[in-house]
Amino acid sequence: MEYIIGSTNPAKVKAAKDVLEAHFPEAILIENEVESGVSKQPFGDEETRLGAINRALRSSGMKKEAIGIGLEGGVRVLEEQMYLCNWGALVLPDGKRFIAGGAQIPLPNEIATKVADGHELGPVVDNYFESIGIRNKEGAIGMFTAHAVNRDDLFTHIMQLLIGQLKYYQQSQS
């Protein structure tokens, strides 16, 4: 079976590849950058979730019989505190969807203020840590957890939830 992930971000691709290899070793993973259809910095669970769904739908539609994967990171506010949030979606060729959300941690106020002012999280975190390309490596989660959990870990967890739902669905259809 072919899977198309709607991103070329190394953390997202690694997560998809690792989980697919563990559950479906015969799977072929194709990377393809697609538009999320949401803002560059998704704000709120709804927008972040929609970005993941859009990426999965657009990926699935690229090739007949391919399963689309969409992974999206964003931020959300809960009780005046900004948190990282992450969502994923898997879309089967027949349109059936599986959706999962991931772990969340609060962002430091200095970061949250800049994101709330309209800046994208990735460059803000790069500036904060005087680095470049953190979103393509450990991600904000890696930096703010002292590398205890990196960005690919978050997306790996989401992929496990998606593949677990897919396997359950396949078993229930037998």
pTM greater than the 0.85 cutoff: yes
Look up residue 142 and give its two tokens: 């890696």
Q: Is residue 92 part of a domain?
A: yes
What secondary structure does DSSP assign to 103-131, as a single string? ---BPPHHHHHHHHTT--HHHHHHHHTT-
Instruction: Please tell me the predicted confidence (pLDDT) of residue 17.
Output: 98
Instruction: Please tell me the predicted confidence (pLDDT) of residue 174.
Output: 83
How many domains, in total, are found in the chain?
1
CATH number at residue 13: 3.90.950.10
The arithmetic mean of pLDDT across residues 145-173, rounded, is: 96
Domain carrying residue 79: 2-104+150-173
pLDDT digits (tens, 9 = 90+) for 15-39: 999 999 999 999 999 999 999 999 9
Q: Is residue 15 part of a domain?
A: yes
Q: Is residue 138 part of a domain?
A: no
Query: Which run of H or of E encompasses 62?
Result: none
| C-alpha to C-alpha distance for 2 and 66, rounded to whole angstroms | 5
Q: Is residue 96 part of a domain?
A: yes
Q: Is residue 58 part of a domain?
A: yes
Q: Is residue 134 part of a domain?
A: no
Query: Is pLDDT of 136 > 90?
Result: no
Q: Is residue 114 part of a domain?
A: no
9, 76, 102, 8: CA torsion to nearest 10: -10
| C-alpha to C-alpha distance for 149 and 142, rounded to whole angstroms | 5
Q: Is residue 167 part of a domain?
A: yes
